Chains A and B, each alone.
Chain A
């Protein structure tokens, strides 16, 4: 009996071929999908997906530039600046800089004697490892005095070496009043009327080492104060008197590092009685909290918290960690805070908010004290442009000088644009780009970048 005719064999063979062409890949796809835990549809979409072409267009830069200039005393050796404050200390309309110099163990006043002319002098007695300063009229006599937090030792110690000193400005001179001694190392002191009696009290962050505390000092007149301890956790870095709950009195907001890595509010009843509230805690006990500041970043009428983590002081070597960076805690108005990570930034310190590009919203500046300085890509100063909708874009400012640990914002040339001043802490290598105190003048886009040694 004859077999199928060629005309019949052809359709059968074609069908078989088609089944093979379709079936074999299909079987492979199904098997692949089952092994990979994905759906068949996902697998097919992945294979056939065409990457989007991203059309990018080079936009002309609308970003400000920051012209660098070293000011103050000549840089010698390895400077150890712990803090800079922008203040017009002599009330002459020209912004000056207060410098906490832990190498000289004194407070320096870089006075702007004429527009763009700076001269520095020391205005305090010896204060071992001075930290934050604040220029404020503490005695309400019409001129600015200087509050000084004294660590007593730059490096960790359990010894109670912390001090609070006030430099009373009187007739152009500065008279030192020692307000507190023999406390755990004190990192911050700020003034505010905490008990509503019309005078200025002090909020004090005693970082300590293994022991620390947060306390406020009730002003009882005649340069005397009474201490009230609020907590006894080690590692309090910043304490900010601010009306966080908008009830008309000053609360306190603080960040506690060491193994705690927490941010607290102490809500004031108006008479100096405080209720503690935990606003945020990191589960990383090595987070390296390095500071906070307050700003309404989303312009919704309440204060958010700008927060950096970049401390590497205790490490050997003092190198950054991959989780260092900048974040903000968004306030919903009812003191509930939502964490938003902005950017990874090794060794992040000292963030502040200001409108650097003049577009009406708040941008952010930050510095780095601990970075991979061998890489030219490691930046010591950056700013984050507010794009709206809680989006920020990072812009690098400089990698020279390195090891910048503090930044202050102020309009130093009176052009209405916020400038920066930074301070450097050079106690570990490299030492090829040293900067003690540096002024960064905010220049409009299109202006040539000025540099000066």
Chain B
């Protein structure tokens, strides 16, 4: 039988096409697989994660696997780089940021991550070179201009720094998509600080002051501005104003860097307790308690038995006076038990300010002392808490131990003297206060207490001398004015007593106690009308002030 030539030809053609298609598909997939593996081989191998915490290792392995499965996709590479960066594997992060940037040059984050890593390691020149490139491509990124200004400043390129700071100052907003939280201080504040530092550096203190003064008004909690203004004012010879600015700077707390949405994103990615604790600390110092708490709670989810995480979160809640929220965490923390004294000590310090929580403060301070008995402050802190609780017998040896360890510790000396006074050992207290005043002659409170001790020892002349000395140091020391007024009245020096009492009322017009003191003097002076008026004023200020009510009842009509 002869087969039709067209039929066999068709079959052959069909077979050939099928083979060609299969070959094409096979080659296509094979080539892509080779390319993928080659690209995946460019991704650096995972570091040794044997000693890495479990959450960190898990996260890095997962991100690494995703990146190797998509080695030419910038988003996956970037995610891996951020995972390394957020878990403090900076060396591993850098080249992968570079690869992410190669594959996804339009995403600003990869270049920015590399810049941050250069800055971290101290390569200011490298960072500046990258920042020049970056700001050319992202002219609206105010934070980048700020970083460029700081880098240029650090390398002495003042003109470039000035221009960059000016760009950062004048930008209408950050120039980036908003991050997970708003900026605490405007970028313009940091930019003005940079410009003021430039002026200061070239000796133009007036210009520095002019530049920074608006910042102190607009961002009053921005401590570095107050400090620089204080320095400028001091150079200009305006010492009193300078001192005021330094005081404000101290109250603002430590310097905190500008909010960077990229770093915030890193924090949300991070599985590293070290990174999360660091960022939480920075946020808390800045006053951003919500962000700090958010990061600490994330850390706690990952590390529920970590001493530092538990301690820092408990400390935050205690500082916020959220004692009920803090209590279970504090229980867990103290039951671990902790191995480092610092956090129990800090928690104790916060609790000790609240009389209702003094027992808990004692527990924390005792833990701190057990952990580091060689530290005089630990003895002192526990002693102070015990004294507040009225446990003087336990407190006294702690004060003495602190003094033995640090003979010049004035705080220990003061507390010991105060304890003696509170336990009615007035003669010992007087000696202790005099020793304290040898080292700190300008301590008005100590002089007042010395006076009280002398008075209670019936050493009137010495008491008067001490009270007057206290007023020389602080003319408005209320407790001294009151005590001196009463003592003068008892010595039948009514006119002198009235001077002190009137002064007391003048400086503390809203103090019921001050008016009550005046009333008592007025009674001794035989001025019933004035006494009655003063008592009534005291009761207006404080209706429950019983001594004033009792005195009023005794004043004849």
A-to-B contact residues, CB < 8 Å: 2-3, 9, 13, 16-17, 20-21, 24-25, 27-29, 32, 35-38, 43, 46-47, 77-78, 80, 103, 105, 126, 128, 155, 158, 210-211, 232, 258-259, 262, 278, 280-287, 309, 315-319, 321-323, 325, 327, 338-339, 341, 344, 372, 374-375, 427-429
Name the residue on A nearest B306 (C-beta): A317
B374 touches A317 (CB 8 A): no
B406 touches A105 (CB 8 A): yes
Within 342-398 of B, Cβ neighbours of A (below 8 Å) are at 342-343, 372-375, 377
The interface residues of chain B, by DSSP majority, are classed as helix
B124 touches A280 (CB 8 A): yes
Q: How far is the CA of A78 from the CA of B150 in the complex (A)?
A: 41
A259 touches B254 (CB 8 A): yes
Q: How far is the CA of A285 from the CA of B186 in the complex (A)?
A: 18
B122 touches A3 (CB 8 A): no
Q: Could you jot down 7 A-B contacts, CB within 8 Å?
A: A37-B103, A37-B104, A77-B374, A283-B147, A315-B277, A344-B121, A429-B339
Name the residue on A nearest B118 (C-beta): A283
Q: How far is the CA of A24 from the CA of B35 in the complex (A)?
A: 13
A285 touches B255 (CB 8 A): yes
Q: How far is the CA of A176 from the CA of B31 in the complex (A)?
A: 81
B27 touches A322 (CB 8 A): no
Within 1-56 of B, Cβ neighbours of A (below 8 Å) are at 5-6, 9, 12, 16, 20, 23-24, 27-28, 30-32, 34-35, 38-39, 42, 51
B155 touches A126 (CB 8 A): no
Number of A-B contacts defined by CB within 8 Å? 167
B132 CB-CB contact with A under 8 Å = no
Q: Which residues of A contact B150 (CB under 8 A)?
A: 281, 283
Within 193-222 of B, Cβ neighbours of A (below 8 Å) are at 201
Q: How far is the CB of A18 from chain B (nearest CB, A)?
A: 11
B340 touches A38 (CB 8 A): no
Q: How far is the CB of B35 from chain A (nearest CB, A)?
A: 5
- Taking A47-B38, A210-B249, A429-B339 as contacts, is the C-beta distance between A338 and B374 under 8 angstroms? no
B120 CB-CB contact with A under 8 Å = yes
B51 touches A372 (CB 8 A): yes
B281 touches A316 (CB 8 A): yes
A322 touches B120 (CB 8 A): yes
Q: Which residues of B contact A28 (CB under 8 A)?
A: 27-28, 31-32, 35
Q: How far is the CA of A27 from the CA of B28 in the complex (A)?
A: 8
B176 CB-CB contact with A under 8 Å = no
Q: How far is the CB of B106 from chain A (nearest CB, A)?
A: 10
Stretch at the interface among B87-95, B491-499, B543-551: B87-95
A283-B151, A316-B308, A339-B123 given; name 5 further pairs at CB < 8 Å. A78-B374, A283-B147, A284-B120, A375-B51, A429-B340
- Taking A262-B154, A316-B312, A316-B343 as contacts, is the C-beta distance between A25 and B31 under 8 angstroms? yes
Q: Which residues of B contact A428 (CB under 8 A)?
A: 339-340
B156 touches A78 (CB 8 A): no
A323 touches B121 (CB 8 A): yes
B445 CB-CB contact with A under 8 Å = no
Q: Which residues of B contact A278 (CB under 8 A)?
A: 154, 156, 201
Q: How far is the CB of B220 from chain A (nearest CB, A)?
A: 17
Q: Which residues of A contact B24 (CB under 8 A)?
A: 20, 24
Q: How far is the CA of A20 from the CA of B254 in the complex (A)?
A: 68
B540 CB-CB contact with A under 8 Å = no
Q: Which residues of B contact A2 (CB under 8 A)?
A: 5
Q: Which residues of B contact A309 (CB under 8 A)?
A: 122
Q: Which residues of A contact B23 (CB under 8 A)?
A: 17, 20-21, 24
Name the residue on B nearest A128 (C-beta): B406
B327 CB-CB contact with A under 8 Å = no
Q: How far is the CB of A304 from chain B (nearest CB, A)?
A: 15
Q: How far is the CB of B392 from chain A (nearest CB, A)?
A: 26
Within 86-127 of B, Cβ neighbours of A (below 8 Å) are at 88-91, 102-105, 119-125, 127
Interface size class of chain B, counting residues whose CB lies under 8 Å from the partner chain: 35 or more
A327 touches B51 (CB 8 A): no
Most chain A CB inside 10 Å of its own CB: which residue of B9, B27, B150: B27
B244 CB-CB contact with A under 8 Å = no
Q: How far is the CB of B134 from chain A (nearest CB, A)?
A: 13
B-to-A contact residues, CB < 8 Å: 5-6, 9, 12, 16, 20, 23-24, 27-28, 30-32, 34-35, 38-39, 42, 51, 72, 88-91, 102-105, 119-125, 127, 147, 150-151, 153-156, 201, 224, 231, 234, 246, 249-250, 254-255, 257, 274, 277-278, 281, 307-308, 311-312, 339-340, 342-343, 372-375, 377, 405-409
B90 touches A322 (CB 8 A): yes
Q: Which residues of A contact B373 (CB under 8 A)?
A: 77
B274 touches A319 (CB 8 A): yes
Most chain A CB inside 10 Å of its own CB: which residue of B9, B31, B277: B31
Q: Which residues of A contact B31 (CB under 8 A)?
A: 24-25, 28-29
Q: Across the A-B interface, give the 6 residue pairs with the lowest CB-CB distance, nearest first.
A: A281-B154, A259-B255, A28-B31, A283-B119, A323-B120, A25-B31
A20 touches B408 (CB 8 A): no
- Taking A46-B38, A319-B274 as contacts, is the C-beta distance between A126 and B407 under 8 angstroms? yes
Q: How far is the CB of B251 from chain A (nearest CB, A)?
A: 10
Q: How far is the CA of A155 from the CA of B380 in the complex (A)?
A: 14
Q: How far is the CB of A206 from chain B (nearest CB, A)?
A: 15
Name the residue on A nearest B235 (C-beta): A232
A80 touches B374 (CB 8 A): yes
Q: Which residues of A contact B377 (CB under 8 A)?
A: 155
Name the residue on A nearest B125 (C-beta): A339
A13 touches B16 (CB 8 A): yes
Q: How far is the CB of A176 from chain B (nearest CB, A)?
A: 13
Q: Which residues of A contact B102 (CB under 8 A)?
A: 36-38
Q: How far is the CB of B69 from chain A (nearest CB, A)?
A: 15
Q: How far is the CA of A38 from the CA of B281 in the complex (A)?
A: 42
B154 touches A280 (CB 8 A): yes
Q: Which residues of B contact A318 (CB under 8 A)?
A: 340
- Taking A36-B102, A374-B51 as contacts, is the C-beta distance between A128 and B91 under 8 angstroms? no
Q: How far is the CA of A317 from the CA of B16 in the complex (A)?
A: 71
Q: How far is the CA of A258 from the CA of B27 in the complex (A)?
A: 60
Q: Which residues of B contact A38 (CB under 8 A)?
A: 102
Q: How far is the CA of A336 from the CA of B365 in the complex (A)?
A: 51
Q: How far is the CA of A105 from the CA of B249 in the complex (A)?
A: 31
Q: Which residues of B contact A375 (CB under 8 A)?
A: 51
B408 touches A128 (CB 8 A): yes
B255 touches A281 (CB 8 A): no
A210 touches B120 (CB 8 A): no
Q: How far is the CB of B229 from chain A (nearest CB, A)?
A: 13
B257 touches A341 (CB 8 A): no
B6 touches A284 (CB 8 A): no
Q: How far is the CB of A280 from chain B (nearest CB, A)?
A: 7
Q: How far is the CA of A321 from the CA of B278 in the complex (A)?
A: 10
A281 touches B72 (CB 8 A): no
B340 touches A317 (CB 8 A): yes
Name the residue on A nearest B339 (C-beta): A429
Name the residue on A nearest B147 (C-beta): A283
Q: How far is the CA of A213 from the CA of B200 in the complex (A)?
A: 16
B122 touches A282 (CB 8 A): yes
B89 touches A283 (CB 8 A): no
From the candidates B124, B156, B250, name the one contacting A282 in the complex (CB within 8 A). Answer: B124
Q: How far is the CA of A46 from the CA of B72 in the complex (A)?
A: 13
Q: How far is the CB of A9 from chain B (nearest CB, A)?
A: 8
Q: How far is the CA of A20 from the CA of B20 in the complex (A)?
A: 7
B124 touches A283 (CB 8 A): yes
A37 touches B120 (CB 8 A): no
Q: Which residues of B contact A287 (CB under 8 A)?
A: 122
From the candidates A47, A281, A323, name the one contacting B153 in the complex (CB within 8 A). Answer: A281
Q: Which residues of A contact B255 (CB under 8 A)?
A: 258-259, 285
B122 touches A322 (CB 8 A): no
Q: How far is the CB of A4 from chain B (nearest CB, A)?
A: 9
Q: How far is the CB of B187 from chain A (nearest CB, A)?
A: 15
Q: Which residues of A contact B6 (CB under 8 A)?
A: 3
Q: How far is the CA of A9 from the CA of B20 in the complex (A)?
A: 14
Q: How far is the CA of A258 from the CA of B343 in the complex (A)?
A: 21
A284 touches B122 (CB 8 A): yes
Most chain B CB inside 10 Å of its own CB: which residue of A38, A80, A283: A283
